[in-house]
Amino acid sequence: MTRFDETWHRLLKWTAGQTPSERLAALVLDEEGYESIDPSHPLGGKDGGADALVKKDGATWVMAVYFPRDQQTIKTITDKLASDIAAAKKKVPGLTGLVFVTNQELRLADRETLRGLDPDIDIDLIHLERLATILDRPRMSPVREQYLDISAGPPPILVSAEVVGVARTFDFSDQVLESLIEIEREDLIKQRDKLIERSKKPQRVQTAMTPGLLEALGLGLSEPHTQPPMSDDEIARRVNTLREELTSRWGQCQDYLAAIAWPALHFEITNQEKSFLNNVQIILTFHGARGLEYAAIDTFKWERLKDPSWEPPAGPFGHVVQNFPRINPAGYPISWDHNEAGDLVVTIDLPELRPHPPWRHNGNDVVLVARDPADTVTVTYTVTAHGYGTYFESDPIALPTEHVDMFDSVQEALRAVDPTND
């Protein structure tokens, strides 16, 4: 078994000679963003003071490589770099910089000394610690295997997950609550006024008898209604009761509207390697946000905005339309739940993930709700795959939080079920 710092030790104990060291150095510079890398004579021959010419930010630099076996004294290293600088300046008049790639360990003070050898040019030191860190990157495993004989193992898991959508939160929810209460109060007043108006008018008895027979029997007109209309106090009492009930379940009411008026999240998964991945699982955690089961907006019911548990009354034959829970087919790739902190956790299971094209899921499964008014929700994810004894963990992703006027969502839902609604 190789030790955890095997790369570091094999670099320091370099025995492969100059040719492999120059080719390894060229690949390292490519990884570090240098461009137009033009080696001189890695197989031997006069290079005129440059192991390679390279470009950095459009300017010409020289690469110098120094890979002795074992650690050398700082004087030996300094003399070697000073010699390389002098030769490079002769080869490239007006030289911008020199990148010195070495397997030597350099302390902080040594690095300062070496960078100050020539104030006229920039000196980039890729020393032992930095070199080992570069080569230990997952995507450098083939280079590490080729030049240090450290097995690369299976290709690294390099998978990116993109969340298509945003988190949302309602604005003006308190005002919507007050509007619903006011609508109920106005409806009660209208009912009261209508009852008063009807009580003033005699009501004709509904019958098949002729008017003459009704008059003979004294049944032509009924007595005025005797049911007393609601008082202002009774209306106030009912409104207060509604306020208490509505306030107690207002969070559920907002969730009902959000699930039905907001779009669901969608996902895109990209395999950035050239190899297939099998039995892949991506777990995304939305920190500071929760999920709601998506519902089609054309199923909106006004009564459920006030009480999500409301069910329509039975029909003429006692039949009530049931709302059956959604059941996904076997092998459906998306599932979701909440962790102990209340954060939404979405799990994506893929039997296979190809290098191309990206896997996209546009199904409507879960709506994302921000739990606090922050501008963003942080998303992290892990990836595992068959044949890998480890997992890939992403850097945090910042997902925007959108503030939605609750009045607008109510109007959108109403228009969806009744396009003539204004």
What is residue 339's DSSP assignment? -
CA separation for the pair 293, 366 (Å, rounded): 5
Q: What percent of the chain has pLDDT over 90?
A: 68
Name the residue among 43, 86, 35 with its Cα closest to residue 64: 86
Instruction: Give tens-digit pLDDT for 369-385.
Output: 998 878 899 999 999 99
Fold of 160-170+257-312+329-417: Immunoglobulin-like (2.60.40)
By the 8 A CB rule, do 121 and 85 touch? yes
Report which of 349, 201, 230, 376 is spatially closest to residue 289, judged by C-alpha positions: 376
CA distances from 336 to 223, 244, 333, 339, 391 (A): 63, 33, 10, 10, 20
What's the rounded Cα separation, in Å, for the pair 397 and 162? 9
Return the bridge partners of 353, or none: 277
Place of tokens 């104990």: 13
At 236, which helix (H) or strand (E)? helix 232-248
Domain boundaries of the chain, sorted by first residue: 6-153, 160-170+257-312+329-417
- The structure tokens listed for 276 are 């297939």
DSSP 352: E
267-322 per-position pLDDT tens digit:
999 998 878 999 999 999 999 999 999 999 999 999 999 999 998 887 665 555 56
CATH of domain 6-153: 3.40.1350.10
What distance in Å separates the CA atoms of residue 126 and residue 384, rounded to the nearest whole number? 33
Radius of gyration, alpha carbons of the chain: 38
By C-alpha distance, which of 297, 307, 270, 302 is closest to 381? 270
- Residue 178: predicted pLDDT: 94
pLDDT tens column, 169-228: 999 999 999 999 999 999 999 988 888 887 776 655 555 555 555 555 555 555 555 567
Identify the weakest region by mean pLDDT among 70-84, 253-267, 282-296, 382-396.
382-396
Query: CB–CB of 367/165 below 8 Å?
Result: no
Across the range 353-380, mean pLDDT stands at 92
- Cβ atoms of 158 and 277 within 8 Å: the answer is no
Write down the pLDDT at residue 324.
61
